[in-house]
Amino acid sequence: MTIHIQAEVDTDLAPETIRAAVLDFTDRRLEIWEKTLDPKTYEVHWVDETSAEVTEGSARPFVWSRERYDWSDPTLVTWTTQASNFCVPGSHIAMDVVPRGDGGTRLSVTWERTPSNLKGRLYLGIAALGGRRLLTWATKQALGNIRAAPG
Grade residue 18 by pLDDT with cuts at 50, 70 and 90. Answer: very high
CATH number at residue 77: 3.30.530.20
First and final C-alpha spacing in the chain:
41
Bridge partners for 125 per DSSP: none
Overall number of domains in the chain:
1
pTM (2 d.p.): 0.92
Whole-number average pLDDT of the chain: 93
Q: Please give the average per-residue pLDDT across 4-19, as a whole number.
A: 96
Phi, psi of 5 (to 5 degrees): -135, 140
Rounded Cα–Cα distance for residues 92 and 85 (Å) = 14
Three-class secondary structure of residue 28 per DSSP: helix
Q: Tell me, what's the pLDDT at 150?
A: 67
The model's pLDDT over 131-148, given as tens digits with 9 standing for 90+, comes to 999 999 989 988 998 988
Burial of 124 (0-12, 13-18, 19+ CB in 10 A): buried
Grade residue 151 by pLDDT with cuts at 50, 70 and 90. Answer: low
Domain ranges, residue 54: 3-148
Rounded Cα–Cα distance for residues 147 and 143 (Å) = 6
Q: Please give the average per-residue pLDDT across 13-26, as a whole number.
A: 95
**Is the pLDDT higher at 17 or at 34?**
17
